[in-house]
Amino acid sequence: MGETHQMGREIAKAYEPQQIEPQWADFWVKEELFKADPNAPGPVFSIVIPPPNITGSLHIGHMLEHTEIDILTRWHRMLGYNTLYLPGTDHAGISTQRVVVKHLMDRGIDYHTLGREEFEKQVWKWKAEAGSEITRQMKGIGESCDWSRERFTLSPEMSRVVREVFVRLYEEGLIYREKRLVNWCPVCLTVLSDLEVVHEERQGHLWYIKYPVVGTKEFLVVATTRPETMLGDTALAVNPEDERYTHLVGKKALLPLMNREIPIIADAMVDREFGTGAVKITPAHDPNDFEVGRRHKLAEIDVMTDDGKMGAPAGAYAGMDRFEARKKIVEDLKALGLLEKITEHTNAVGLCERSKTIVEPRASTQWFCKMKPLAEPAIAAVERGEIQIVPDNRREEYFNWMRNIRDWTLSRQLWWGHRIPAWYCNENKHVTVAREKPGKCATCGSANLEQDPDVLDTWFSSGLWPFSTLGWPEETADFKKYYPTSLLITGYDILFFWVARMIMMGIHFTGKVPFRAAYLHSLVRTGSGEKMSKSKGTGLDPVALNQQYGTDAMRFCLASMAAPGTDIVLSEDKLASARNFANKIWNAARFLFLNLDKFEEGGAKLEELATPEARAKAPYAYQGSVPLVDQWLYSRLASTIELVNDALTNYRFHEAAQGVYQFFWGDFCDWYIEWVKPDLQSADREQATIVWKNLFAAFDDALRLLHPFMPFLTEELWHQLPQRSGGKSIALDTFPTARKAWAQEKIVDAVDIFTQIQGVITALRNIRAEMRLDAKKKVPAQFWSTAELIRNRVRIESDAITRLAVLSELKISPAALGQVGGSVRSTAQFDVRIAYSDTVDATAEKARLKKEIEGLEKAIASKERQLGDETFRSRAPEKIIKGLEATLAGQRIELQKLKDRLSQLEKGS
C-alpha cells in the first residue's frame, strides 16, 4: 500500500479472530448489555439455559446448543423483543460426587473418613475453584446471557423451591416412601431411576437347574440367566394352565445348595413357552418375582451387599463377588448333578449410566413420586399444541413414554444434592415431611428427630428450572413477565430425563406450561457415527477449535449443518470453510474502508447514513434512477432477509446460515462489489458517492443480518463503521427489514434482466475458458437478442459486461449471429460469440455441443411426452402446464441453435 491516492482507512488484510474476540466478550459482560428488564416494552422472548453440569467444561454439544440458543436470542433482541437468556449451572449429583471423590482420592483422601459435612464443604470448595469453568467459557464465546440472573440448582434459593415442591407433592399424596424393587448400582452405591439404567444386548447363558420336589423322585427344572440369585429363591412358579405341572402345584421343592424348602405356586405371569415353563421366584432380585412374591406373600431375601458381593443370607457364598458366586454355584450344581444343561442366550443387561456397572435389582425402601397424575395434563398440553415439540417425530416418543410412565425413584444414597426434607423420630420411626427442620415429630411429638440421609435425584431440581429460576413461588416481576418461557432448546437425549419432567412439574405447580416450544437439537457425532465424547477421547475440543478458527466460524459452521432431526458430523475442513467466510466478510469491509474517501470527498457525514430514516432510503438513485445492479442486489437482500426470518422461525438454522452465505459471498462479493468497482473510481463525484452509499447501506444491512450468527466479527466491523451514533452495540441495533419497495414489479423485471446479463457474462467467460484464451487478453465479442429490452440493457451495461468478461468490445449485432468463426453460446433469449478462430478446438467444441444437444433432447422429449398426454393436461394444475410449455419453447429454440452450430462445424471440418 502507501499509494498517495489511497485515502481510505485500512484494516488488517486477514481476519484474526484471536485479536478481536476477547475484547468484545469482555465488553458484552462488563457493559451488562444483555441484562433483561421486565418493565421494558416489546413482546417477550425468554429462554432458560439447560444448565450444564458444574463438573463439565464446554464440549461440542454445548457449543451447538448454545449457538442455537444465542442465535435465536440475538435475533429476537434485534427484532425488538424484550429478551431474557437466563444462564446457570446444575449441581449434577452423581457426576459431581464421583468427580470430587476421585479428586480427593488422588490426594490420598478417602471421602468416607471426612464425614458428610466436611465432604460437602469440599465439594463447594471444588465448585468455587473448578466449577465456574463452564460459565467462564460461556462468557468467552460471547453468549448473550443476562449474567445478573445466573442460577445454580443447589443454591439456597433453589433449595427452598425444591423443599416447597417436595412438601406439596407429599401432602398431595404423590410422593411416598415404600419398599420396592429398584435399580442398585454397586459402584455408585446408590439407587437409580429407570432412566439412569442403560440397556445393552449381551451374549449370556440360560442355566437349567433341577429342583428336587419334596416327597417325590421328581425334579422341577427351571431356566435362569442368573443362577446366583437362586440363593434368595422363596418359591418356584408355573402357569396355572400348564397341565405338565398341575400335579406339582402346592407341593414343596428343595432349594439346592441352601437346602431350604420352598413352595411350588401357580401364577399367570409365567410364560409356558419360555424355558421349561417353570420359573424360580427371587422376590428380592427381580422385578417380576417381586410382584409375584407380593401376590403370594413370599419372603424377600436380599442375598447381596451394597457393593455387589454375596451377603450373609448367601450362606457359604457370603463374601464372594456376585459373578464369582455365579461360577461357583454353577460348578457346585454340576457336581451335585442338578444342572441339566446350559444354552446360549442373549439378553439385555442394565448398566449404570455413569459407572457402566451391571445394575442389581434389589428390594429396597426409597422415596418415589407417582407420575400418572402428573403425566396426564402434560400429555394433554402437548396434544392441544400448547407446547410444540420440534421436530415433531419426537412428539410421538414423548407420548409413548408419558403414556407408559412409571413411578419415579427420587431418593439417592449420596451426599451431594438436595437433602430429602423428611425427618424420622428415633422412638417410633414416624415420618415428618416439612419445609424447614421441624421441632418435633408430627405424629408423636418426639423431639428426637433425624433427617433422612438421602438426597434427591438431580433431575428433580432440574425439573423445576423454568420457574424456580424466575422466583416462583413468589409472583415476582420476572416470573410474571418471563414465565412461561418462550422456548426450550436441548438435546433429544434428555427428552424424558428433563423436558418431560419440566412439563409435568411446570403445569402442576404454576398451572401453565413451562415453555411454548421445545426444540430438540441434533447430537454432534464423530465420523464413525458415535456421539462425541470427551471421556472416550472422540470429541473435538470446541475451545481449542474456537481459538484456532474463531468462535464465529465455529458458530456459523454448526448453524449451517444444524438441520432439524439430523445429527451432525463436524470436521475441520468444514470449520476452515466457515473461517474463510468470516475472512471474506472482513475483506469486503476492508474494501469498503479503502474506498471511504469516495464518500468523504462528497462532504457528507457518515453518521447520517446509519439512522433508520437513512437506512430506509437506500438504494439511492443516480441520475433519476436506481442502478440496475442495485435493484438486483437489494431485491436479493430483501429475499434473503425474508428467508432468514422464515428459517429461524422454524428452527431451520442451516437454511438461514446457507442463505446468508449465498447472499454475501455469491451475490454481494462475487457480483455486486465486482460490478461497482469502477464506478467507485468515477470522476463524477456524485456518482462515486452514490455508489459508495449504496454499497455501504447493503453492507450495513448484511452485517446486522449476520450478527446473530457471527457476533464477534460483526460487532467489530460495526464499531469500525462510522455509525456508532445509534448505540453501544450492533447487538442492540435493529435487524434489517425486507423493504417492500424492493419487491415491486418494476424491480422484479430488473432482477430478471440482470440475471440474464449475468448469463451473458458467464457465457462469454465460458467461451474464453474453453478456448483457453489468456485470462488477461481482451477480445472482441458479439451479442444478439430478439428481445429489445435486453438489447437495450446490454447496451447500457456494456462497460460492466466487457470488463467482467475481459472483452475489448461487445458489439450488439444487428441480426442473428452468423455461424462463422469463433465460439458461440446460445440460450433461448440471446447468443454471444467470441471470434478468435485460430484457437478454436473444433473437436472439443463439437463434443461439447453434442453433449448439450443430447441433454436438451432428453429434456425436450420428456416434456413433449408429458404435454402430449391428455390425462396430464386434464389433471395437472394450469401453472405447471404453462411453465412446462414456456420452458419447452425456450429449449426448442436453444436446441435448434445448437444443432445449426454443430452442422456448421461439421461442414467446416
Partner RNA sequence: AGGCCCGUAGCUCAGUUGGUUAGAGCGCUACCUUGACACGGUAGAGGUCUGGGGUUCGAGUCCCCACGGGCCUACCA
Residues in 872-891 at the binding interface with RNA, rule: CB under 7 A: 872, 875-877, 880, 883-884, 886-887, 891
Nearer to RNA, 650 or 808 (CB): 650
In angstroms, what CA-CA distances link 322 with 222, 318, 333, 683?
Answer: 20, 9, 16, 91
Nearer to RNA, 21 or 150 (CB): 21
Question: From residue 347 to residue 386, what is the string marking binding to RNA with x (rule CB under 7 A)?
Answer: xx--------------------------------------
**Pairwise CA distance, residues 731 & 712, whole Å:** 10
Of residues 674-733, those binding RNA (CB under 7 A): 674, 677
Note whether 286 binds RNA by CB under 7 A.
yes
Note whether 897 binds RNA by CB under 7 A.
no
**Pairwise CA distance, residues 669 & 304, whole Å:** 72
Note whether 205 binds RNA by CB under 7 A.
no
Of residues 435-494, those binding RNA (CB under 7 A): 493
**C-alpha torsion sign, points 574, 575, 580, 585:** positive
Tell me the pairing of strands 455-456 and 449-451.
unpaired
Note whether 752 binds RNA by CB under 7 A.
no
**Pairwise CA distance, residues 821 & 835, whole Å:** 6
Greatest CA separation found in the chain?
118
Nearer to RNA, 626 or 660 (CB): 660
Note whether 765 binds RNA by CB under 7 A.
yes
Of residues 175-204, those binding RNA (CB under 7 A): 194-195, 198-199, 201
Note whether 548 binds RNA by CB under 7 A.
no
Tell me which residue of 352, 371, 477, 459 sits closest to 411, measured CA to CA.
459
- Other CB atoms closer than 10 Å to residue 678's CB: what's the count? 12
Note whether 266 binds RNA by CB under 7 A.
no
Nearer to RNA, 155 or 288 (CB): 288
Q: Which stretch binds RNA (CB under 7 A): 470-478, 647-655, 735-743, 748-756?
A: 647-655
Nearer to RNA, 432 or 802 (CB): 802
Note whether 270 binds RNA by CB under 7 A.
yes
Nearer to RNA, 434 or 563 (CB): 563
**Pairwise CA distance, residues 683 & 331, whole Å:** 101
What is the crossing angle of helices 60-78 and 628-649, to 10°?
A: 120
**C-alpha torsion sign, points 853, 857, 859, 863:** positive
**Pairwise CA distance, residues 420 & 412, whole Å:** 9
**Pairwise CA distance, residues 653 & 568, whole Å:** 13
Nearer to RNA, 367 or 664 (CB): 664
CB-CB contact of 690 with 697 (8 Å): no
Of residues 109-168, those binding RNA (CB under 7 A): none
CB of 527 to RNA, least distance (A): 6
Note whether 892 binds RNA by CB under 7 A.
no
Q: Which of 591, 597, 780, 821 binds RNA (CB under 7 A)?
A: 591
Q: What is the helix, strand, coil percentage profile of the chain, to 5?
A: 50, 20, 35
Note whether 759 binds RNA by CB under 7 A.
no
CB of 879 to RNA, least distance (A): 8
Of residues 515-534, those binding RNA (CB under 7 A): 527, 529-530
Nearer to RNA, 109 or 859 (CB): 859
717 exposure class (CB count in 10 Å sphere: 0-12, 13-18, 19+): buried
- Number of residues located near RNA, criterion CB under 7 A: 105
Note whether 670 binds RNA by CB under 7 A.
yes
Cα-atom radius of gyration of the chain, to the nearest Å? 37
CB of 841 to RNA, least distance (A): 12
Question: From residue 825 to residue 864, what is the string marking binding to RNA with x (rule CB under 7 A)?
Answer: ------------------------------xx--x--xx-
Nearer to RNA, 403 or 437 (CB): 403
CA 617 to chain centre: 39
- DSSP assignment of 313-369 equals GGGGGTTSBHHHHHHHHHHHHHHHT-EEEEEEEEEEEEEETTT-PBPEEEEEEEEEE
CB of 157 to RNA, least distance (A): 31
Nearer to RNA, 161 or 648 (CB): 648
